[in-house]
Structure formats: C-alpha cells, structure tokens
Structure 1
Amino acid sequence: MSYLWLVFALLSAITAALVSIFGKIGLQSVEANTATAVRAVIMAVFLVAVVAFQGNIGKIPSLFEDKKTLLFIVLSGAAGAASWLFYFWALKLGKVSQVAPVDKLSVVIATIAAVVFLGERLSWISGIGISLIAIGVILIAFS
C-alpha cells in the first residue's frame, strides 16, 4: 500500500498552516478582499508555471470538452474562492489559534458529504475520529 498520499497530505497541512500565519501578518494593514485577490493572482501564476513545467499546458483545452468535468472544476473554483474570502475575513477579525481550527471543520463537513454524496464508507474508528475533530473545533472556538 502506497503512503505517498499521506506525504502530500502532511505537506498540505504544513503549507496551509503557513497560509494562516503569513496571512494574519499580511492582513495587518490591508483589507481582506484585496489581500485575497492578490493571493489568488500569485497562486494562479505559480500553478500555471507548475503545469507548464510538467508540460501539461496543452491539456488545458481538453477541460472544456467534458461539460461535467468543467462544471465541477468551476464549482470547485468558486467554492475555493469563497472559502478564501471567508477565511481571510475571519483571520482579519479573529485569532489564528481559533480561526484555523474552525476552518478545519471542513474535514468533518467534507467527510459527511463524501459519505452522503460519493458513497464512501467510514470505519467506526474513522467515525470516532471525525467526531473528535468536531468536538475539538467546538471547544477551541468557544474557549
């Protein structure tokens, strides 16, 4: 069994933590929407460079051939943009030590959605873990 997914997931967690810290510091003298827009442009340039480096720029037009694929990529992008806006508004107003954990309630919501909409199954241990995440978020948010 390959655990490469775990390596990438841990790297995602580490870099997401940096977003919180760097974002909070960067928001000290700028409005959240402006910061989010600049961040989005930087991310877009970076990601296009990655796709170009991989030699996959030519594959981008194929995304427009499958309407279902395009629809869900657009929906994912819109949800991601909204998430960034809400996250940066929360960072502007709150403490990183509270905002970041509450944001991770997305783990609980995504897991429930995966079970309901994607037919994924959870072991009882996973169910307990998801419940503990939810309880932890509530405890942190209201502490």
Structure 2
Amino acid sequence: MLGNMSWIFWAILSAVFAAGTAVLAKVGVEGVDSNLATAIRTSVILVFTWAIAIGLEKHQGLGSIGRKSWIFLVLSGVCTGLSWLCYFRALQMGEASRVAPVDKLSVVLVLIFAALFLGERLTWVKAAGGVLTAAGAIILALA
C-alpha cells in the first residue's frame, strides 16, 4: 500500500525527516568532531537501509543493476557523503535555523541542473519558485 502513495506524500515525509535530521544533528554534533558525527550517522543509515532492503527482499535485485546505474549510484553516494560532511560542519558552526535554509538552496541548483543535464523544462513558474526559494533561504540565513 505504501508504495502506491503519491510522490508528494513521500516528498512531504522526506521534508519532515530532514527537519528532524537538522534539529537532532545540531544537538548530537555538539562537542563531537563533525566528521566523526557524519560517520556515525552514515553507519546508522547503512544498517537501517540494508535491513529494509533485505527485509523486503529487494537485495535480490543486485545482480540486475547495470553498469551505468552502478556508476551513477556510486557518484550520487559520493555527493551525498560530501554533502553530509559539509552539512554537519556547518551545523557545528552555525544555527540549525540558518544552516538548513542555505542547504535547501540545493532545490534551486536541482532546477538548473535538471534543465541542463536531464532536459527538464525550466518554465517561468519553476524559475519564479526557484527565485523565491533562493530569496527565502538568503533571508532566513541572514535573519
């Protein structure tokens, strides 16, 4: 049943958990090296996601993943790791309510990258949303 839910349902849940991540990580990273904190967080994610994949018997699909998918998934993982390292360092140095909005400038970059590299249309509505998102992030970061 959960698999049939709309993408917007999952995106909202993602936002809720991301908000929790920022608040919990800000408390957790206090007095801990940000790289070590990221390693701990990543280890939890590794165990948690593999438990889900194995529990749902999705791990059996490993052999059917093509070379291109492997390359891009690995590169995506590298980007995720670098993002988390930077995010935890920023959280250690700044307020969560200022760091998180700047991190969400990724939304604006995704709009641009999706248009440039994925051929997605950048409509005036998406562009306006991107400008508003950027403005909001800047306002919140400077507040």
Aligned counterparts of 1:8 and 1:26: Cα–Cα separation in 2: 26
Kindly provide the CA deviation profile for residues 28-54 of structure 1, in whole angstroms up to 9, marking residues without a partner as x: 121110010011010010000111121
Counterpart position of 1:18: 20
Among 52, 58, 78, the alignment partner of 1:56 is 58
Instruction: Please list every run of 5 or more consecutive structure 1 residues that lacks an aligned counterpart in the other structure.
Output: none
After TM superposition, the score normalised by the length of structure 1 is: 0.93
- TM-score, structure 2 normalization: 0.93
Aligned residue for 1:31? 33
Q: Offset at 1:123? A: 2.7
**Superposition pairs of residues 30-109 of structure 1, within 5 angstroms:** 30-63=32-65, 66-109=66-109
Equivalent position amino acid for 1:15 in 2: F
Quick one: percent identity of the two aligned structures?
42
Counterpart contact for 2:105–2:133, Cα < 8 Å = yes
Structure 2: which 5+ residue stretches go unaligned?
none
What letter matches 1:138 in structure 2? I
Q: Which residue of 1 aligns with 2:6?
A: 4
Aligned counterparts of 1:60 and 1:37: Cα–Cα separation in 2: 25
Aligned residue pairs: how many? 140
> Is the partner of 1:41 in helix, strand or coil?
helix
User: What is aligned with 2:141?
Assistant: 141
Instruction: Specify the code of the residue in structure 2 equivalent to 1:103.
Output: D
State the Cα distance separating 1:121 from its structure 2 match: 0.7
Cα RMSD (Å) of the superposition? Answer: 1.4
